[in-house]
Structure 1
Amino acid sequence: MIDPRVLRDDPDRVKAAQAKRGLSGDAVDRALAADTARRTAIADFERLRAEQKQLGKQIPQAQGEERAELLARTKTLSADVRAAETAQTEADEEWRQALLAIPNPAAEEAPAGGEDDYAVISEHGTKRDFEAEGFTPRDHVELGKILGAIDIERGAKVSGSRFYYLTGAGADLEFALVNMALDQARGAGFTTMVPPTLVRPRAMEGTGFLGQAADDVYRIEGQDTYLVGTSEVPLAAYHSDEILDAETLPRRYVAFSPCFRKEAGSHGKDTRGIFRVHWFDKVEMFTYTTLEDAAEEHLRLLGWEKEWLDKLELAYRVIDVAAGDLGLSAARKYDCEAWIPTQGRYRELTSTSDCTDFQTRRLGIRGRFEGGDVKPVATLNGTLTAIPRTIVALLETHQQADGSVRVPAALQPYLQGRELLEPVLG
C-alpha cells in the first residue's frame, strides 16, 4: 500500500498520480475521510479507557454512596469502552481497505495515459523479410503440427479452450528454455527457487492481485487458497513479516513455476494457438533491495531480459508502459515485445516492474539499516521467459521454407546440440 504519510501530507500528489492512471481522486478522498474517522475512534477509545482506569483506582478508596455511584459509572463505562473498541476496530478496517484501493503512484517518468500511450525506448534485432526469402511464413499453430510440437486439439478435449499439450520437440524446447534461463540467472547471482503455486489470500492481497486483477485469479473453493498467475506472488510473500539485514540486500531470486490465469476480459483475443492461455510455465526474476537502489535495479532486470532475447536472436522492442496500463503494485514497468511475423506486430514477451515499497508495506517486510533504523524495502520483478509466448516467437521467427525451425546457437547445447527442429509430418 502507499505510504500513509504521503497520503496525509500531500494528497494532491496522490490525486495527480491517480489522474495519470486515468482514475478519479475519489479513492483518495475516501481514504482521507477514513483516516479522520479512524483517528477520532482511537481518541474516543483512549479517552474512555483512561477514564475507566482512573475509576478503577478510585473505587477501592471510596465508601458508601460515592462507591455505589462509581460502581454504577464503571458498569456504564465498561459498555462504552467495548462499543468504542468495536468502533475503533471497524474504523481501522475501513481505513485499511481504503488504503488498499489506492494503486502505487506511478513514477514521474512513466508516460501518462492508457494501453496505447506507451513510449518506445529502443528497437533491437532485424525483422525477417519472408517475401524476399521467397516463402510465406507459417504461424506457430501450423508449425507446431508439422514439428509434432504442439497439440491444441487434445488440450481442448482434455481441459477446455486455451489449454494445450507440448509434445516431442515442443516439450524438449520448454525444458531447454527453462534450463537456459536458470543458467543465465544463476550466472547473474540469483538464487534458484521452486515456490508453491497455491497461496493464501494474504499473499495475493499483499502483492496486489486481489484488487483490479481479482477477476483473473483462480480461487480454490472451500480452501481459501488461490492459484498464482505468476511466481511474483510467492516470491514477494517469502519474506513476509520479516526484517532483513540491509547488508544482505539486494536479495535476488529466480523461480520456475506453473502459472494460472482466467484471462478474464480477453474474450475473442488471441483465440488461435498458445499465445494467450489459462496455464503456462514461467521463469521469473525477483529482487528485494533498498528504495534508493530500486530504479537502478529495474534497469538491471531489463538488461537481463534483453540479454535473454538477444540470445534467442529475436527482433524486439522495449516500451515504457503508460501509467493507466500498470498493475496495481507497479510504479513503473518496461515491456519487451517480440516481433511475431504472422501477426505483423510486436507482442509482449517479458516485462519488469518496480513496485517500490508498495508490496512490502502490505506484507510487513522491512530492512534494518545503519543505526538500527527499520523501514520498508523495495521489491521488483521481471519475467525471464514465459514459455508459450517464447515458443511462438521462436518458431515463427526461425522457421524455414520446409517447415523446419532453426535453433539459435545459444539454445543448441540445451537441445542436445540440435541445430534444427525437423518436421515429423509431411
Structure 2
Amino acid sequence: MRASQRARGEDVALVDALLSADERRRSSGVRFDELRAEQKQLGKQIPKATGDEKAGLLKRAEQLKADVKAADAERDAADAETQELLLRLGNLVHPDVPVGGEEDFVTLETHGTIRDFGAEGFEPKDHLELGQLLGAIDVERGAKVSGSRFYFLTGVGALLELALVNAAIAQATAAGFTPMLTPALVRPQSMAGTGFLGQAAQDVYHLDKDDLYLVGTSEVPLAAYHMDEIIDADRLPLRYAGFSPCFRREAGSHGKDTRGIFRVHQFDKVEMFSYVAPEDSQAEHQRLLEWEKQWLTSLELPFRVIDVASADLGSSAARKFDCEAWIPTQGKYRELTSTSDCTEFQSRRLSIRVRDGKQVKPLATLNGTLCAVPRTIVAILENHQQADGSVRVPEVLRPYLGGREVLEPVSR
C-alpha cells in the first residue's frame, strides 16, 4: 500500500498513520473487553460479599465504571480515526499500471484512419463553428442563462444527442446490460462510498440545505444501488447501463477547453456498470473496454486506447483504460470514454457483498463510459464534416435520425 500511495503521488505517511490508529483501535477494544469482563465478574461477587470485603468491591466497582467509560470512549475515538483515514486512502494500484503523471500513459492500440483535410482541399472547422452552421449548438445563450461552460443543444443538435443515447442504450442492451434511469442527487454516503469525496471533491456540487450531492456520473447511484446488500453468487455478473445528467464544477480546469462544449458543467452520459466476483474483475475490465471500442468504431471515429498512469487514476480505480478520439482542429487525441476496475474498493465502503456457498465476501465493481454526449458530438462533427459545412451521419445513428445521412447547414 505504501508503494501504491507513492505511485499515486499521494501521502505515504497516511499508511503508517492508519496502521497506528488501527493498533490503538485493537488495543483499546481489548482493554474495553477486559474491563467489562471484570465488571461483570464483580457484579456477581458483590451480592455475596459482606463487611469490609463488600466495601472494597463496591469501591472497585466505582473505579471500574469510570475505567469502562473511558475505555469505551477511547475505542470509539480510535475506531472513528481509523475509518476517517481509511476513507482517505486510494485503491491499491494494479502492478501493471504505468507509474507517473498525466503524460506518462502507455498507448496500447490505435484504430481508424485520421483524415488528411489538406488532401481533400479544405481546412477543417471546429465543432463550435460547425454547430452554429447546423443550428445545433448555442453557447452564447447558454452563458446568458446559466454562465460559462453551459450550452443549449438545438434542432439537429438535440436530435443528435437523442440518437446517440438511443444507439448507445441499444448496444448496451444487446450486450446484456439492464437499462437504468438513475437519480441525479445522492446522499453523502453514496458519494463517499464510491470515492468521489476525496481528491475529486473539488469538482462536486453540494446542496447544503438538503445535504445532497449532484452526481458527476451515474457510476455513483449505480454503485450505491446495492448498498448494504448481500448478492447471491449465481446472480453475478450484474450489468447496468445508466443514463443520467452529470454535473461537474471543473474546478481545476481554469483556462482549459473554454471554447465550445468539450468541457462543460452539465452533460448527459450513458455509463456501463458491472458487479462481478473479485477474481473476474480483470476479465470484465477487458470486456468493458471491448464494448467501448465497438461503440467508437461504429461511430467511425479514429481513436487510441491508453493505459492511464498511476497518478491520474482517481482514488477508486486500480487500473483505468481511456479511449481517446482524434480531434482534427486540436491535432491531438482527447478522452471520449474511460473504463475503471475498482476491485473491492467501492463494495467495501458501501457494504456490498456476495454470498458464495457459506462464504460472504466483498465483490468487485467496474465502470465504463459508453457515451459522454457533448464530447462525442464534438468528435462526430469534426471528423465527419464536409467542405460545405455539412456533416455526414455515421450509419449506426441514421435509424435514430429518421434515416438522415447528412446534417445540412441552416445558415451560411
Range of TM-score over shorter length: over 0.9
2:16 matches 1:56: no
1:379 aligns with 2:365: yes
Q: What one-letter code is carried by the residue in structure 2 that aligns with 1:63?
A: T
Separation in 1, partners of 2:82, 2:21 = 5
Which residue does the alignment assign to 1:213?
200
1:134 maps onto 2:112 in alignment: no
Q: Deviations over 1:100-141 (max 9, x none)?
A: 221111111111111000000000001111111111111011
Are 2:399 and 1:392 equivalent residues in the alignment?
A: no
State the partner residue of 2:246. 259
TM-fit CA distance, 1:360:
0.4
- In structure 2, the residue matched to 1:234 is 221
Looking at structure 2, the residues matched to 67 and 225 of structure 1 have their Cα atoms a distance apart, in angstroms, of: 56
Residue 77 (structure 1) shift: 1.5
Amino acid at match of 1:394: I
Classify the secondary structure of the residue corresponding to 2:278.
coil
d(CA) in 2 for partners of 1:64, 1:165: 87
Aligned position for 2:409: 423
Work out the CA distance in 2 between the residues paired with 1:159 and 1:381: 30
Aligned partner of residue 292 in structure 1, secondary structure: helix
SS of match in other structure, 1:287 = strand
Q: CA deviation at 1:20?
A: 1.8
Counterpart CA distance in 2 for 1:242 and 1:288 is 12
Matched, 1:77 2:64: yes
Aligned residue type for 1:315: P
In 2, Cα distance between equivalents of 1:84 and 1:222 = 36
Q: Give the structure 2 partner of residue 324 of structure 1.
A: 311
Q: Match of 1:100, SS?
A: helix
CA RMSD of aligned residues (A): 0.8
Unaligned runs of 5+ in 2: none
Q: Which residue of 1 aligns with 2:277?
A: 290
What is the identity, as a one-letter code, of the residue corresponding to 1:75?
E
Percent identical pairs in the alignment equals 66
**Could you tell me how far 1:80 is from its partner in structure 2?**
1.7
What is the alpha-carbon distance in structure 2 between the residues aligned to residue 193 and residue 72 of structure 1?
Answer: 64
The residue that corresponds to 1:145 in the other structure is 132
Alignment match, 2:343 = 356
CA distance in 1, matches of 2:70, 2:179: 51
Aligned letter for 1:291? P
Determine if the alignment matches structure 1 residue 89 to structure 2 residue 76.
Answer: yes
For the pair 1:408 / 2:394, whether they are aligned, the reply is yes
- Give me the whole-angstrom Cα distance separating, in 2, the residues matched to 1:68 and 1:199: 57
Between 1:59-68 and 1:255-264, the stretch displaced more is: 59-68
Residue 243 of structure 1 and its aligned partner are, at CA, apart by 0.6
Q: 1:76 offset after TM fit, Å? A: 2.4
Structure 1 distance, partners of 2:75, 2:158, is 56
List aligned pairs for 1:26-41, cutoff 5 A.
26-41=13-28
Q: Distance in 2 between matches of 1:174 and 1:215?
A: 28
**Cα shift readout 1:62-115 (whole Å, capped 9, x = no counterpart):** 123322322232222212211211111110011111122211111111111110
Aligned to 1:16, the other structure's residue is in SS state: helix
Match of 2:31 in 1: 44
Give the letter aligned to residue 160 of structure 1.
Answer: G
C-alpha distance in 2 between matches for 1:399 and 1:56: 85
Supply the distance in 2 between the matched residues of 1:21 and 1:335 (Cα, whole angstroms). 17
Residue 130 of structure 1 aligns with an amino acid whose one-letter code is: F
2:90 pairs with 1:103: yes
- Identify the match of residue 184 of structure 2 among 197, 200, 207: 197
Matched letter for residue 68 of structure 2: V
Aligned match of 1:300? 287
TM-score, normalised by the number of residues in structure 2: 0.99
AA paired with 2:409? Answer: P
Q: How far, CA to CA, are the matches of 1:23 and 1:221 in structure 2?
A: 29
Paired residue secondary structure (2:292): helix
SS across alignment from 2:333: strand
- SS of 2:411's partner is coil
The question of 1:183 aligning with 2:170 is answered yes
Q: 1:58 & 1:225 partners in 2: Cα distance?
A: 53
Provide the rounded CA distance (Å) in 1 between the counterparts of 2:198 and 2:8.
Answer: 15
Moved more, 17-26 or 181-190: 17-26
What number of residue pairs does the alignment pair up? 412
Partner SS state of residue 279, structure 2: coil
Q: Structure 1 length normalisation: TM-score?
A: 0.96
**Aligned-partner residue type, residue 245 of structure 1:** D
The answer for unaligned runs of 5 or more in structure 1 is: 1-13
C-alpha deviations, 1:363-403, integer Å up to 9, x for none? 11110113x11111000000000000000000000011111
CA–CA distance in structure 2, aligned partners of residues 224 and 182 of structure 1: 31
